[in-house]
């Protein structure tokens, strides 16, 4: 089995075959009969221009992509125009940007560039006509995303936007996959590794960020390609809003001289303190354990009382409260006994 280094070197050599015209070719003149013009630009999914290498993939011969030459030899561009394209239907392939390889209606992606046991298949994206208007298209390359809610207990995950097709999937995973550094308020989070991070209590009120970067060897190897300098994307940082706690819900029931308080929320075990208030009485504090706290009520005269339970919140949950009405009945006087004092 080929080592990852050997396989990546093979990829670089294969890419060089398409990239070679960046060094030796210049802009073409007016198209002869049987040829037309194509203009292809590259942007990312945020609308920013992306420098890369563009290849037209003939629908009738997808294993033989046609390189689009830059206006200045050896210089990567964000837009290419080629005036001597054979008439016909084409799909598109771009080398560069965060996905490294972006294909528009070419399967598998990179087919014809990257050796694969599966012959590539292409379907029409643009049609080049003889001496007609230029066929134009804007290729959008993906960028890394940081998805997930910035709340305690939620998982943040980085989608790196890498796309090298199934043939190089194992290589990407073990060797040139982007690396992620997690930070809290700009300081590296100890122990946080990989593309996913579970938000914790320490993150409350702070922003969590992920810096995504390709390993240096990718920059080195793409730099060895003709015109490949600048193909490997620079590191990018994605940042969340300040982390918040989750909502809690407090439910209060009273009866038989006892207040029953239940607190719920998205936490493994709900714990904390609850304050029980009865009008005209001193507040009572009780500990919530596993989401429950029974509290003995004080001795009260006959009447109706508003009782309020206020959960104070904890490192994962916000505060919440609930109220109930307590009816205290007085003793009925014995027959013949006056109720006046």
SS3 content of the chain, % helix, strand, coil (to 5): 10, 45, 45
Residue with more model confidence, 246 or 223: 246
Contacts of 303 (CB under 8 A, 6+ apart): 327, 328
pLDDT band at 256 (very low <50, low <70, confident <90, very high): confident
36 assigned to some structural domain: yes
CATH number at residue 88: 2.60.40
Are residues 166 and 233 located together in one domain of the fold?
Answer: yes
Are residues 100 and 155 located together in one domain of the fold?
Answer: no
333 assigned to some structural domain: no
CATH number at residue 218: 2.60.40.2700
pLDDT band at 173 (very low <50, low <70, confident <90, very high): low
282 assigned to some structural domain: yes
**Residue 147: what pLDDT?**
95
337 assigned to some structural domain: no
Pairing of strands 66-67, 53-58: antiparallel
Q: How far apart are CA 104 and CA 125, in angstroms?
A: 7
* pLDDT tens by residue, 78-112: 999 999 999 999 999 998 888 888 999 998 887 65
43 assigned to some structural domain: yes
Are residues 187 and 111 located together in one domain of the fold?
Answer: no
Are residues 131 and 182 located together in one domain of the fold?
Answer: no
Q: How far apart are CA 288 and CA 249, in angstroms?
A: 13
Q: Which residues constitute the domain of residue 109? A: 4-141
128 assigned to some structural domain: yes
47 assigned to some structural domain: yes
Are residues 191 and 318 located together in one domain of the fold?
Answer: no
Query: CB of 95 within 8 A of CB of 101?
Result: yes
Mean pLDDT across the stretch 179-200?
95
Q: Could you give the number of structural domains in the chain?
A: 3
Are residues 125 and 155 located together in one domain of the fold?
Answer: no
SS3 4: helix
Residue 36, classified by CB atoms within 10 Å of its CB into exposed (0-12), middle (13-18) or buried (19+), is buried
User: Where among 242, 265, 283 does a domain terminate?
Assistant: 242
Is the pTM above the cut of 0.85?
no
**Residue 1: what pLDDT?**
41
């Amino acid at each position: 089995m080929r080592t990852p280094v050997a396989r990546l070197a093979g990829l670089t050599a294969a890419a060089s075959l398409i990239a070679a015209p960046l060094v030796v070719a210049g802009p073409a003149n007016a198209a002869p009969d049987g040829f037309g013009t194509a203009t292809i630009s590259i942007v990312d999914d945020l609308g920013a221009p992306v420098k890369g290498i563009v290849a037209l993939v003939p629908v009738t011969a997808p294993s033989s992509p046609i390189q689009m030459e830059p206006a200045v030899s050896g210089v990567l561009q964000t837009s290419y125009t080629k005036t001597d394209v054979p008439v016909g239907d084409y799909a598109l392939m771009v080398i560069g940007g965060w996905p490294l390889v972006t294909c528009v209606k070419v399967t598998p992606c990179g087919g014809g560039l990257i050796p694969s046991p599966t012959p590539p298949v292409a379907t029409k994206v643009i049609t080049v006509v003889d001496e007609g208007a230029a066929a134009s298209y804007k290729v959008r390359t993906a960028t890394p995303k940081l998805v997930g809610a910035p709340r305690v207990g939620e998982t943040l995950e980085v989608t790196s936007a890498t796309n090298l097709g199934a043939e190089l999937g194992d290589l990407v995973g073990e060797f040139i996959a982007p690396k992620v550094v997690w930070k809290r308020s700009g300081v590296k989070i100890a122990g946080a590794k990989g593309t996913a991070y579970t938000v914790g209590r320490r993150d409350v009120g702070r922003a969590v960020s992920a810096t995504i970067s390709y390993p240096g060897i990718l920059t080195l190897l793409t730099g060895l390609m003709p015109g490949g300098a600048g193909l490997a994307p620079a590191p990018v940082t994605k940042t969340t809003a300040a982390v918040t706690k989750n909502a809690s819900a407090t439910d209060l029931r009273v009866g038989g001289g006892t207040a029953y308080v239940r607190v719920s929320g998205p936490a493994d075990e709900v714990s904390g303190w609850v304050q029980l208030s009865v009008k005209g009485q001193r507040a009572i504090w009780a500990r919530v354990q596993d989401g429950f706290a029974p509290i003995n009520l004080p001795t009260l005269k006959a009447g109706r009382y508003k009782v309020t339970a206020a959960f104070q919140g904890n490192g994962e949950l916000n505060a919440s409260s609930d109220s109930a009405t307590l009816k205290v009945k007085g003793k009925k006087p014995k027959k013949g006994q006056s109720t006046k004092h």
